Amino acid sequence: MSKFVIQGGQRLGGEIRISGMKNAVTALLTATLLTREECRLDNVPRIADVETMLTIIRSAGAKAQWVSDHEVAVEAKGIDSLKLNKHMVCAMRSSVLLAGPLLARTGSLNLPEPGGCIIGNRPLDTHLVAFEAMGVKIERSNGVYELQGKPKAAEIVLPEFSVTATENVLMAAVLAPGKTVIKLAAAEPHVQDLCSMLKKMGARIAGMGTHTLVIEGAQELRGVKHTVIPDQIEVGTFAALAGATHSSLTLYPIVAEHLDSVFTALKRAGVGYESRIKNQESRISELKIFPSSSLSGFKIQALPYPGFPTDLQAPFAVLATQCKGTSLIHDPLFEGRMGYVHELIKMGANAIIADPHRVIIAGPTSLSGQEIKSLDLRAGATLVIAGLVAEGETILHDAEVIDRGYENLEVRLKAIGAEIKRVN
């Protein structure tokens, strides 16, 4: 167990390098199991969830190793889906993404109920309905799903815009003979990144970036070298930090087209920013956030992409505490993501949880340092921001939760002038 000790109330400044996307890389790692050839992923963040996924795919027989600071090589010539490390699978929600590739390769899988952050009810129903439509036989016994049969091509209408279900069906379909159609597919940047990598491997996918994907099954896929996209959740987190602390920050690299809803939210709050293209071919830009003297209350609603990301509603709640007027944060996607608000109230925020999906925040209010706790990955990062905004000392317990998705967070924050240290 570890904690962050934060001395807040200071302006920050400098540049933060954005890591490869956490929500993308876990799916990309499972996709390497679709081929017997070596795959290399670059711009991989050194975070706990990546290490967990590497351990899991090694347990299935894949060779996976770091070949440089942020590059991973995976070779899955011989895999046995029945040898998965069940303890690790239970520890991470995104381990459900093993189902599509392993069913496509081996036709059988015993999958324990995956774990992850406690942010509301997230059943596997959408995944299971889709797999059943593809001819997979499913039984549940003692908390373990027993899946049998290689997926067959099918036309599937997902019951919700589920990112992981879209990714799972996509990976199951790329080796299924015939045409698979996924309707109501999620279109998030990390889904598009998975499509890009699969196409490099020889998959035939149409409709990338839309809510209908059409896949023509291939006989086999080849190895690939792929660079993970920048993490737009990190961008939004640090942008909210800059706005709330009235600081000047440069964030690089970013993909500006992935951030339209974030830019809209910043504009509504009165946060000044400028996005400038740096590489036309790769679409890479940098984002400058300027100190803002006048912040205004705003409304945001978390929605499927291209809507505002659910993972950013919490960081923007801290920004709302520093805005003049009333802000409304609405997350209809999950009912358990407002727990961090109790910690903000403890620090002095004028906030009311209207219901499990909505919080109303009046500002501006001065925050003061307190002893608080990380409830989940995004809530933890949010409370780091709150600690940097607050006057005095904040002690944030369970800092290791944040390590699941942010690489060396305290080191990167120190580089821009933050007073933060980790105590184990």
**Residues labelled catalytic:** 117
Tell me how far apart the alpha carbons of residues 113 and 140 are, in angstroms, rounded to a whole number: 10
Tell me how far apart the alpha carbons of residues 322 and 324 are, in angstroms, rounded to a whole number: 7
Are 273 and 326 within 8 A, CB to CB? no
Strand partners, 423: 3
Q: What is the DSSP string of 325-358?
A: EEEEEE--S-SS--THHHHHHHTT-EEEEEETTE
Strand partners, 288: 250, 274
Neighbour-count burial of 77, counting CB atoms closer than 10 A to its CB (0-12 exposed, 13-18 middle, 19+ buried) = exposed
Neighbour-count burial of 103, counting CB atoms closer than 10 A to its CB (0-12 exposed, 13-18 middle, 19+ buried) = buried
Q: What is the DSSP string of 142-174?
A: TTEEEEES-----EEE-SS--HHHHHHHHHHHT
Q: Measuring CA to CA, which residue among 252, 187, 245 is closest to residue 213?
A: 187
Strand partners, 174: none
Residue with tokens 């997350």: 331
Q: What is the DSSP string of 92-114?
A: -GGGGGGHHHHHHHHSEEEEEPP
Q: What is the DSSP string of 250-284?
A: EEEEE-GGGGHHHHHHHHHHT-EEEEEEEETTTTE
Tell me how far apart the alpha carbons of residues 189 and 166 are, in angstroms, rounded to a whole number: 12
Angle at CA of residue 162, ends 35 and 160, nearest 5°: 135
Q: What is the DSSP letter of 390?
A: S
Tell me how far apart the alpha carbons of residues 366 and 174 are, in angstroms, rounded to a whole number: 53
